[in-house]
Structure 1
Amino acid sequence: MGVSTSSPEKGISVVTVDFPPVNALPVRGWFELADAVRAAGRDAEVRCVVLTAEGRGFNAGVDIKEIQQEQQAQREQQKRQERQERPEHRGATGHGALIGANRGCAEAFAAVYECEVPVVAAVRGFCLGGGIGLVGNADVIVASDDATFGLPELDRGALGAATHLARLVPQHLMRALYYTSRTATAAELHAHGSVWRVVPRADLLDAALELAREIAAKDGQLIRLAKAAINGIDPVDVRRSYRFEQGFTFEANLSGVADRVRDTFGKEADR
């Protein structure tokens, strides 16, 4: 369980995420993923990175229960302090997990985008929330025919990754998907040109490796220059744009609306 790296063939590094049951990553998971992708990109022998996942789906975003558990513990601690009449301890934020998730997601998304070599995302099953941040910042997406993509953030008391969804679908569709929390299929994204290829789930890794092999056949120094050049002409600063969005996530938490929505999501998820 966690993040692992393998080298199935020369010039290709495969970074695999495995956080059962649904690949909802805890804070440490996002930082582990960022470190693994950056390390693969720094390896002079690597010319392409494949980002994939084990289990039921590619990524279910942030581990909301980790945030809920910390905030519940903070609320209980605050009640104990109030009963003991210790006002000097009041006002503790209890937002450590949220801050960690915000920073971890930002680092993981940036690691994919800033990886020194092209990153091919091999997506199966659900790709939600933070998963959109990863694939939206990847260079190429290969998906299984059962893959779905979406941002259920509004249903989970959060905001963010519209920056990355906007790289996958046209602007007005992005807004409709964002406001409704609906998902789009791999076939639909293929029609929009953001998914390179759609294949049966059993063929996903082979299809991703086939593309990675073609990329890795290029000159190693030149492919790194190509990645830097393409990033340099990108019309959107994805790191700054995403961090701007995250500010509204924190505002939603400070106002209490995020807790209200998350608590509702938690009860529905437990049914």
Structure 2
Amino acid sequence: MSDTVLYEVAGPVARITLNRPDKLNAINSQMLRELEGRIDQAASDDAVKVVILAGSGRAFSAGYDITDEMEDGTETALEWQPILQRDVDLTMRLWALPKPTIAVVQGYCLAGGCELAMACDLIVASDTAQFGEPEIQYGSGPVTLLMPFIIGQKKTNELLFTGDRISAEEAHRLGLINRVVPADELESSARELALRIAPTPLPILRLTKQAITRAYEAQGLRAAVAANVDVSCLINSANTPEQQEFDAIAKTGGLKAALSWRDSRYRSHL
């Protein structure tokens, strides 16, 4: 079984790379387990001061692999609860990693992949990157509800109600990401930023991050994320006619056919 998450350390910087490029780095159960381990490894290595999270190939991540969920036959809220809780626990494990983290984003950064990027302290994106939480378009919703704390209520409302994607430039304007750079400068720009941070002693970096995360958590971030898990279970188990149709098409024609049907529903209203 191939590694779905790569890990390397160069000087004070650890790089964690999502590695399912043929699936746009969709997060399946194997990747989730490996990513948990790599996050813990980076956290415990005192030689590492900054952690970069990246995706191999042409995308950062298209989100959680819904093929897993369809094959498992998950339906009820009780069945969804442990699955969604583990997804949230992974994202919040990254959020709480006691060192500065930088997401390096190219191509799609969607759904659960967007949540992983938002859980990082900084995001550097190529000018071709696209961000969004399109889950509502197939009867689901964001599991780790971080977006309201990052870009505010009104734009979060728009993105989560429509499922629309936004460009890197728009994401930068909204404060979702830190920098937009040409695609051929993405890696060097992220590395340069990491090395700007790395000279600071590790205890100071840890404490500074602790202060920042505590400020957000004092605003209720963790409580909101925890409360959303129950709502997400209800959403995923709603079994609306549209969800049933999506699943039926996926079973007979494959996931691409189901996604095409979903997209056509939304295009028809433009």
Task: Give the shorter-chain TM-score range.
Answer: 0.7 to 0.9
* 2:35 equivalent to 1:52: no
Identity of aligned pairs, percent? 26
Structure (1 or 2) with the larger CA radius of gyration: 1
* 2:30 equivalent to 1:18: no
Distance 1:137 1:6 in 2: 20
CA deviations on 1:17-42 (whole Å, 9 max, x unpaired) are 01232111112322321221122022
* 2:122 equivalent to 1:140: yes
Equivalent residue runs for 1:80-95 within 5 Å: none
Q: CA RMSD in A?
A: 2.4
Summarize the Cα distance change of 1:139–1:94 in structure 2 as closer, same or farther, 3 Å threshold: closer
User: For residue 241 of structure 1, what is the amino acid of its counterpart?
Assistant: A
User: For residue 67 of structure 1, what is the amino acid of its counterpart?
Assistant: E
Contact in 1 for aligned 2:64/2:113 (Cα 8 Å) = no
TM-score in terms of structure 1 length:
0.83
Distance 2:63 2:81 in 1: 15
Distance 1:59 1:48 in 2: 21
Counting matched residue pairs gives 250
* 2:244 equivalent to 1:260: yes
Unaligned runs of at least 5 residues, structure 1: 76-92
TM-score in terms of structure 2 length:
0.84
2:106 to 124, 130, 136: 124
User: For residue 154 of structure 1, what is the amino acid of its counterpart?
Assistant: I
Distance 1:67 1:124 in 2: 26
Summarize the Cα distance change of 1:230–1:21 in structure 2 as closer, same or farther, 3 Å threshold: same
Instruction: Please state whether the residue corresponding to 1:15 is helix, strand or coil.
Output: strand
Contact in 2 for aligned 1:49/1:118 (Cα 8 Å) = yes
Contact in 1 for aligned 2:77/2:237 (Cα 8 Å) = no
In structure 2, what is the equivalent of residue 157 of structure 1?
Answer: 139
Equivalent residue runs for 1:188-267 within 5 Å: 188-234=170-216, 235-257=218-240, 259-260=243-244, 262-263=246-247, 266=255, 267=257
Unaligned runs of at least 5 residues, structure 2: 262-270
Distance 1:236 1:160 in 2: 19
Distance 2:54 2:193 in 1: 14
Contact in 2 for aligned 1:122/1:141 (Cα 8 Å) = yes
Equivalent residue runs for 1:42-81 within 5 Å: 42-71=44-73
Offset at residue 215 of structure 1 (A): 0.7
Distance 1:152 1:210 in 2: 32
CA deviations on 1:212-243 (whole Å, 9 max, x unpaired) are 11111111111111111111111444443223
